[in-house]
Each structure stands twice: as C-alpha cells, then as structure tokens.
Amino acid sequence: MIDISKLKTFVTVADLGSFSKASEILYITQPAVTQQIKALEKTIGAKLFQRQGGKMCLTEEGKRIYEIAKILLGSYEGLMEEIAKIKKDLKDTLFLGVSATLSEYIIPTLIAEFHKEFPSATVKIFTGNSHDVEEGLLSGVLNLGIIEREPSNKFVSVPWLEDEIIFFTYPENPIAQKGEIEPEELYEIDLVMREMNSGTRKIVREALEKLGIVFERLNIKIEANNSRTIMNIVKGGYGASFLSKGLILREIESGSIIPVNIKGFKVKRRFNIIYPKNSNITFLSSNFVKFVLSKTQDIVPERV
C-alpha cells in the first residue's frame, strides 16, 4: 500500500529535479528522501528516476505515476480542507516560501501569532531569494510565497508592506562622516552584497544603473545569501552595503551602523504575497493571508 507522504516526496523530487532540494522543502533528511523513493520503486516494481546532466529526471514509468500522483494529492488536499471546514479545525500544513529579508525581521513574529490563533495548523517555512520562492510555487511544492519584488504574470499578487533600501557602513569608515556621497564614489568602496538572484540586489542594480553606474565595475568583495550576515560583516568594520531599512533599523538607532545617502538614490519597494494563477489558494493559505493583512494594516500603505 502506498501512503500519501511517499507520494508527496516523489512529486516534490520530480518537480524540483533534486533529492537535496526536496529534503530542504519537506524538512526531512536527504537519506530519508532516498529511502522513501526506493520504497516506492519497490512497491511499483520499476525505477522512477534517472540522472541526466546532474538532474533527477522521471523515467517513462515515473512519468505515468507522476500524472496520477498529482491528481491524487490534489484530491487529498481538497478532502483535508473540507474536513477542516466542517470541523472548524485547521489540522493542515501551510508550505510558505519567504524571501530572505522578510524571514529575518517581521515574518517570525507573525508566524508565532498566527499559530496562537490556529494552534492545530502546521507551518513549514522555506527561506530563499525571490527566484527560489517563485520556483517552489510553480512546482507545486509551496502553497504561498512572500517576495521582495513584483512577480511575473504567472502569479496572483497581493501587495503588502512597503520597504526602503538603505546604503550603510560602519561608524569609522570615512564615508560615514560625509553623510552623503556622489554615485561615482561607489567605485572606490568595498561592497558586501546579496547573491546574484536576490530581489534586493536586482532592485539596487537597476537604481544604480539609472544613475549611470556600471554595476560590473563595482568592488563587490563579499557576497552572501543572508542579510544579517551582511549586516554583521559591515557592523564589524568592513565595507558598506545595501539592505532593508526594517532589518537594520535597530542598529541605525544604536549607532553601530551609519546610513549614507547617495545622491539621486532613493529606492522603495513593495513586498508581495503571491500564489500561482493556475492553482486555487488553499483554505489555510487564505486564512494566513487574511491574518497577515489584518495584523499589519496600520503599516501597510493603501493599495495601488
């Protein structure tokens, strides 16, 4: 007999093309993923995956099982939602993808408050850049995403918080004393930046290029996919960077890092709550969106 958890693991590996990525999103170890797939293959009596160019691809038998498994999982999730509605008891799991910036300063508090109101629900959070979150949603592995940029037209988007990106450095840096610099002075500064696919980096790059800066000429000495790591590197006395104001506000107030104005540089962005257009938002996801909007209505600007 095949259980739902093995089917979920199988479909996740198929969608992501990777055992390791599936283990991250499903919150189980990679050996456990491998064991579940092997058990499923033994039950079915056929290999379901084959490696092609570093990616796990479905065999012909795997493709046949995949199509049926997707339908079964969709029906199962629909059944669980209907039961939850009838019992008024949300014993369901929300697979939430959150951009790295938000995961570090506002989402943790909201998740804790949400769980107090819906104690029977389970929330599994996948943290990545905006590109990773969109990929997880399109593959069907994630139910809901919160990203730091405008999504593609493949998604339904609910505008949420407005945020400002700040350029900052450590107090002893000579540019900290200036308070304001010309855009061209950035070429002489060692920078600590978010990784290539980061929404923050993309927005900063676009804004600087509008000011005539050739992004490839900047001295990007360190890259990291964690905003707090970047903040702590600069705070510790190295270089300068661009991060969300909300994330570094306490450090600015304490004086441990110093914001520096760049002439002409003013970047505000809107965080968006998203889910794919070609799928229905789950009952638990819908409740989470309503909860988040209700809890942040005083700090969310009027929608445009």
Which CATH fold topology does 1-86 show? Arc Repressor Mutant, subunit A (1.10.10)
Tokens of 101: 């910036």
pLDDT digits (tens, 9 = 90+) for 195-223: 887 888 989 999 999 999 999 999 999 99
- What is the pLDDT at residue 86? 61
* Residue 2 confidence (pLDDT) above 80: no
- What is the pLDDT at residue 303? 36
- What is the pLDDT at residue 286? 85
Mean pLDDT of 143-158: 89
Confidence band for 98, pLDDT divided at 50, 70 and 90: very high
CA distances from 167 to 88, 143, 202, 207, 263 (A): 47, 34, 15, 12, 11
Confidence band for 97, pLDDT divided at 50, 70 and 90: very high
- For the chain, the average pLDDT equals 87
Angle formed by the axes of helices 60-87 and 4-16, to 10°?
Answer: 120
pLDDT digits (tens, 9 = 90+) for 41-91: 988 999 999 988 878 999 999 999 998 888 888 787 777 667 666 655 555
pLDDT digits (tens, 9 = 90+) for 37-53: 999 998 899 999 998 88
Q: Is 275 exposed, middle or buried (0-12, 13-18, 19+ CB in 10 A)?
A: buried
pLDDT digits (tens, 9 = 90+) for 219-273: 999 999 888 999 999 999 999 999 999 889 999 999 999 999 999 999 988 889 9
Alpha-carbon distance 73 to 107, whole Å? 28
| Highest mean predicted confidence (pLDDT) among 25-29, 47-51, 52-56, 149-153 | 47-51
- What is the pLDDT at residue 38? 92
Sorted by where each begins, the domain ranges of the chain are: 1-86, 163-268
Alpha-carbon distance 191 to 172, whole Å? 15
CATH code at 163-268: 3.40.190.10
Confidence band for 4, pLDDT divided at 50, 70 and 90: confident
Residue with the bigger pLDDT between 175 and 246: it is: 175
Instruction: Give phi and psi for 57, each to the nearest 5.
Output: -115, 150
